[in-house]
Structure 1
Amino acid sequence: MDRFGQILGFCGLSTGAPRARRACPLVCHASSSDVVIVGSGIGGLAAGVALRKATNKSVTVLERSDGEDITDGTSISVWPNAWAALEALDRDVSERLRSGKVRVESGKVVKASGKVITSWNFDQVWKGFELRACPRQEIISELSTLATELGVDIRYNTSVERVDPSSSTIYVEDGSTITAGIIVGADGAGSRVRSSVLKDGSPNVAPLVAYRGIVEEKGISTRQALQVWDDSSSARFGSVPITEDKLYWFVTGPGTAPRGTSFVTSEEPLQLLDKFPEDLKDLVMKAKRIYRNGVVDRLPSLKWGEETVTLLGDAAHPMLPNLGQGAGAALEDALAFASALQEGTDDPNSAKKALRAYERSRFKRASIIQLRSRGISSLVHWDSPLPAALLSVAFYPPLVFNHCKYTPPLKFT
């Protein structure tokens, strides 16, 4: 057992099931680990898995919640680059996540009046193009189980107050501290790690609000991704099949909401869909739960870290959701991070060099996707007939989806 595991054992916190509710008692004042990852989202857990597979470092993941994620019932689109990253991380996990999920074969954008703006087959991008929707919590569950099996210690109910990069110390809200060889902020768009290190303010709040839900009904799914645009406003409806009997939908439109996820009734998204077809409104009303999110992003930043602290996922490059690349980019970060730390990071100087190398390796690609997401969002939500006119004549699938090409820097068998 590593030193951190011994300390946790002394405190009565031996490694257990990934969703167990655990918190370090106040008598446990200080501990240490080779690498501490703040945040147990997709990127944080994937980084823990990749690091344990690539190195012999001890890894601890700190999560402020109790593991019962409010977004259990939401889904994400898993694009080819995300599938490539998942396969490189663990083939068995990727196959379990694929099981039963519909492979989306085509896409269509139509006006609320029914007029088709554009349509395409994903095989036009490249043969075997793979897009599937997957409930977020399924991915979290698979990664947290694998991480625990590999020896990653996941500590729930542990809220980080701040970090000190000069001493590589994490200050926890319960008064305890953790010293780490390397600290990774994977704690989302409102990252406390980022605010401690970069001190570059809060993310940009977009004038958009997003609603999401899942409908379960026998035979409901198709193999087509759909977007419906209002003729007279910037409101948009979209849907992606998950399984043969499960469909994920989202609604976006003008407005603001607090960062994070909250439950709402169907009344709010239906206000945006006033002029939309009745069958789409019925889908919204059939969802057992409807989730509302405020939408935030940042412009690309040249600096992701300092000393032995770095960032990953939304903490490094929060992006608007229109390309569906938040999870994919975080998975890519995780593999690049582990690749950079494979050799020669036992002393602080070499660790710093490895972290800066990781950041440089990801900056260009992550920045391009951030800027594309912002540009697409501006175009899609422009309250004008011009975007539809442009899309109808200039939509070229191989160009639009070329960001989905990705070669992992590591592959674990």
Structure 2
Amino acid sequence: MPLGRRKTSSISLTAIFALALTIFTSLAFASNDPSSNQDTQDKDSNELICHTDNPDECYPKIFVPTDEFQTIQKDQEIPQGLHVRLNVTSGLLEAKMNVEGEVPEELKGLSPEEQAVLVVEPEQPEEPQVPGGAPAYEPVGAVKKPEHEAGYFYDVLSMIKDPATRDTTYDDALEWLEDLSHDMYYGLKLAEDTQAVKELLCLMSDDAQPVEEGVVPRDQRAATIVAAALSNNPPALQKVAQQWSDLKGMTCLDTRKPLSEGFSGRRFIPQGDAVQDPSSPGRVKAKVSVVNNMMKNDNLRKEFVDGDMMKYLLEVLVPTASSWTSAQRKVGQLALDNFLDEDMGAVLGQWPADKVQMDKVCKEGSMEDGCWDYRVNEIAQNHKGDDSHWSGDLARRLADARKTQAGKEPARDEKAEL
């Protein structure tokens, strides 16, 4: 399978998905006075809009339709009587000559004003009759296969599973897979391939991956792929959770260690001088996204909490450099979404479990659960007046969780803090 370099891959893939995923909203604008439309076109027929000195980039002030859909520029005027649709993938309007037979039945006989506000309700299917003894309803539902499946997806997976091909072509394969993994269908197909998931998690947890300036590190790319595949994709998450007991016992080729060891928080949260590495915040953010998505599964969430994952994640809140802001927000969202904010699906009472630790102990570098309050409050103090900042909400919810946990305001050893 020939794979081009990065720019070629991205452009080709964008074209594929623009064609495969575009959803059209068709509007037929019927004109009661066609002559007025013609007068307008005649008046400005020779007027062009040019944003650069290149004449090839100029276009007519008034959109000139053909029998094929064309993109309407934002500053073009649209004549009446065209067939207009919205490409929700690109966010652009497209139009062509209106063909009477293509006008939806629901729009016929309506004025242009009525057409513009018409909402067509889909027909509701009859409630199916469930036969006795049928299996219980699965709320996840089935993931629909695309009309035209991208066959190269499986070629890319084969490359990912072959670490012997760790060259520039391998990087291209990772990039292609990253784009595809955002799609629910391909995210599920990826999750169903245990070997592919294992290779990606091993790559993600290998903190010795080389870093080249201007190139996304492989461990970050691998984490982004897994996070995208699991994000808002319950069937994919369910597959990974079902395979987890097997996955974590597999040995990673590069590190020669079990995946469970490489996947511990201590492995992918940078230590010492690595915190100063400019690539560290982006790499950590991507890996935290994986943990956040995996924690949506009850069993995985419990295993991560029992394995001190929250203590390792607390280390992300320590750096004060602005480059860590995004990664720290991701950690804050993880705590809110999984443990403290019921509106986001959190199950209260699972975390935090430890008592609030004394400030003195936290200042000295403790990363126990009891120091979450101290670290979050530190960040919140630096964002006073910003009610939308995640740290304020997290600090309040942490305090409420502590009160519920202890049944009263948590006590502190004030003398020890002095």
TM value normalised by structure 1: 0.20
Where relative contact order (Cα < 8 A, 6+ residues apart) is larger, the structure is: 1
Task: Give the number of the structure whose residues are more often helix, by fraction.
Answer: 2
Task: Give the number of the structure whose residues are more often strand, by fraction.
Answer: 1
